[in-house]
Structure 1
């Protein structure tokens, strides 16, 4: 646990490789959790702001953002916005966040800015989902320091495991230096194409390498998942019957079962 609240779980969704379905996972996992009654906050830590767009908050309506949160110029309560999904709030991102990496360098407790900002607010939510940028810089470090678990999306492609060791090393360093409770919540295989034998081979290789860390649920390659953000909606609202939406609903159920069973066992 992070020490923020005994009832709040903070999950960072991270992979320094781009295009692996990180933001799609953040949006739809959060929506799936909210759909079954959990109170969820999404924090968009990527300067590109795709999670914000995908949850229906356009750039003109991001007066306060993650940038303001990290610099201590806004609280979570001030920066958060309601989304199109009941029980789901968002702290949006703006392009200003791209400069935060430089501004944070000289700040006190630069790696703890997000953790500090969440300390009092976390009790208002059951889950906080942090969508990290495709890098291992200070923004991602802040997410890992604040989180109790890391969810890693892995694309079902030939180089799926390439770079994973670098992410795992970063997680180990954060655990050793800043956040001893940080663990890996799990690995989710994305963009799975059942028509492609390579997808099966990659899935088999990842499972043999990482074992039970890999979620049973696999996210298929699905055009409706790609279309949904342009309509400002999670796929679960855009087309709840498409294979991608059904998979993310199943993933949300699997993660809730795993995490809440672990809390009860503790």
Structure 2
């Protein structure tokens, strides 16, 4: 199972939209490009639970499954929720999250008798043989839950809007990723994904800097600004589910195709 973390320390960069779109499109496959659907597990690691809301598995009244995994380091019973109607053979599952994550993180920090950083890695190892991909949607911070995600992950995708705040935060994020590599040498940055793109002299200059001088790989495909993508969130749908003909939906399809083409399905030794 290949584990992919979607992360940026800045909010509003389409992290959740990217994570849920990847999960959905990988599960559905691509008939045009003759790519079959994959078995996908979407791990909501953000206490806001937006990915969970997207697939209607959010529950604010009791500890969500991701929070329990954070506390215990094990998958446990009923941690995975099946999503119906997304892909043939129901190939997409979700691990929900909610605001109980704050309590779970406090419990982990107080636990001095057990390792704190590898709980997700251990838990996901219990189901590794059941999925091809695990996509982790992370919050815009570096709390204990994000550190756990980074320790478990194989590849990192960084959604970035072309504004000064996002670009300034990119350098800090890369530094943090390099520090986490001491705990997980397999982790690598798959690429930066430009999101909410609108063509202008400023955005073109920012993109040129990002590709030439940031030191990070950058995906060729960009995600265009689209009101449809924002509208989709009100209906708890992905861009492709809400408006498949929208620019953002078509761009996410092309992005996933580029990702699969560049990185293949699974590297040797990553399955199971």
- Taking structure 1 as the reference length, what is the TM-score of the superposition? 0.89
Tell me the residue number matched to 2:32: none
Q: C-alpha separation between the residues in 2 aligned to 1:63 and 1:106?
A: 18
Q: C-alpha separation between the residues in 1 aligned to 2:117 and 2:74?
A: 17
Q: C-alpha separation between the residues in 2 aligned to 1:98 and 1:39?
A: 30
Tell me the residue number matched to 1:145: 151
Among 18, 30, 48, which residue is 1:25 paired with? 18
Larger proportion of strand: 1
Tell me the residue number matched to 1:117: 123
Q: CA separation of 1:199/1:77 partners in 2, compared to 1, >3 Å: closer, same or farther?
A: farther
Q: CA offsets per residue over residues 148-196 of structure 1, 9 Å max, x none?
A: 11111111223332121221111111112x11111111110011012x3
Contact preservation (8 Å) 1:76, 1:91: no
Q: C-alpha separation between the residues in 1 aligned to 2:66 and 2:253?
A: 27
Note the C-alpha offset of 1:204. 1.3
RMSD of aligned residue pairs (Cα, Å) = 2.1
Tell me the residue number matched to 1:82: 82
Q: CA offsets per residue over residues 103-124 of structure 1, 9 Å max, x none?
A: 1112311111111111120211
Larger proportion of helix: 1
Q: CA separation of 1:15/1:76 partners in 2, compared to 1, >3 Å: closer, same or farther?
A: farther
SS of the equivalent of 1:224 reads helix
Note the C-alpha offset of 1:60. 6.1
Note the C-alpha offset of 1:59. 2.7
Structure 1 gaps of 5+ residues are: 1-7
- Taking structure 2 as the reference length, what is the TM-score of the superposition? 0.88
Q: Confirm whether residue 219 of structure 1 aligns to residue 212 of structure 2.
A: no
Q: CA separation of 1:61/1:234 partners in 2, compared to 1, >3 Å: closer, same or farther?
A: farther
Note the C-alpha offset of 1:90. 0.6
Tell me the residue number matched to 1:244: 248
Tell me the residue number matched to 2:190: 185
Contact preservation (8 Å) 2:132, 2:266: no
Q: CA offsets per residue over residues 45-89 of structure 1, 9 Å max, x none?
A: 100001111223243697742001122286266211122422211
Tell me the residue number matched to 1:235: 239
Q: C-alpha separation between the residues in 2 aligned to 1:137 and 1:63?
A: 18
Contact preservation (8 Å) 1:23, 1:131: yes
Note the C-alpha offset of 1:197. 2.4
Q: Confirm whether residue 258 of structure 1 aligns to residue 251 of structure 2.
A: no
Q: How many residues align?
A: 256
